[in-house]
Structure formats: C-alpha cells, structure tokens
Amino acid sequence: MELAGAGLAYSINYDFRFSKEDIQSWGMRVGAGGWATTYNSGSESLLTLPIQMNRLFGKKTHFFEVGGGATFIHYRDRWGGGNYEWRNFNFILDSGNTPAFMGTLNMGYRKVPENGGFTFRANLTPIFNHNGFWPLFAGISFGYAF
C-alpha cells in the first residue's frame, strides 16, 4: 500500500525482482489506485495505474531505490445526473483531458526483510507531464515481502 508516490493519491502495488537470487537486480512494480465519490449534484471517479522499473542498491535489509515509469490517469465526473464527462484532472500538474499519462521518477529508502515480513519504503517521487515538472512529490509505502 502506497500513500502518494507513483499512484498519486494512493495505490496497491505488486513489486518483484527479475532475478530471484539477487535482490539488487532490476525489478518492476505495477499497481492500481484511485477513488470514487458521490455528492448532491453528481459524482466523480479517478483510476490510476502506476508502472515502474526500479533497482535496489544496498546490503542485507537496507536499500537505496532508484527507478522511473508512468502512471495512467482516468478521471471523469458527472454533474446533475447527466452523462459522465472526461475532464481535465488537476493534481499538482494539469493532466489535460484524460485518459492521460504522468511520468514518475523514484529515489529513496527501502527496507526489505531477508526472510519475508514487513517492508517499508519512503521515496521522493518527482512527477512530470506535458505541462511541467514537479520535483518535490513523495510517497510512503508499507507492505509484506514473501
């Protein structure tokens, strides 16, 4: 589970190494996040699908993580019981009309237990798209390694 980071608001992710014998090998993570809300005059929903390549550098259980990827964004809202409309999604950077993509970078700390168990990540996650670059976005993750 990641708060902020590549999933923008929050996301559930699966992260794996390409080499099971070497935790410092390249890896990938894929996830999904978003929300749906209803209010008096309509509703809105957001779906995010982050995907990133990453690499770990370190020893035993403490690692420096670097990586990059993209997050698919699908946002829509409905006003006054009318049809759904795809609109611009403004989350730090204006995405323009969705569906759209947001580029993501990743660098930070990851704790991975040697024999499975609780994992933790704290990362700086700069985001970018056709409207600019925001270097000070971050994320925090909690999970389980097996």
Q: Is the pLDDT of residue 140 over 90?
A: yes
Range name among 8-12, 81-85, 123-127 with the lowest pLDDT average: 81-85
Here the tokens at position 96 are 């323009």
Cα end-to-end span (Å), the chain:
15
CATH number at residue 129: 2.40.160
> Which is more confidently placed, 81 or 122?
122
pLDDT tens track for 58-99:
999 999 999 999 999 998 877 665 666 656 777 788 888 889
125 vs 129: CA distance, rounded Å: 13
Distance between CA atoms of 34 and 110, rounded to whole angstroms?
24
pLDDT of residue 20: 87
- Number of structural domains in the chain: 1
User: How confident is the model over 26-49, as a mean pLDDT?
Assistant: 90
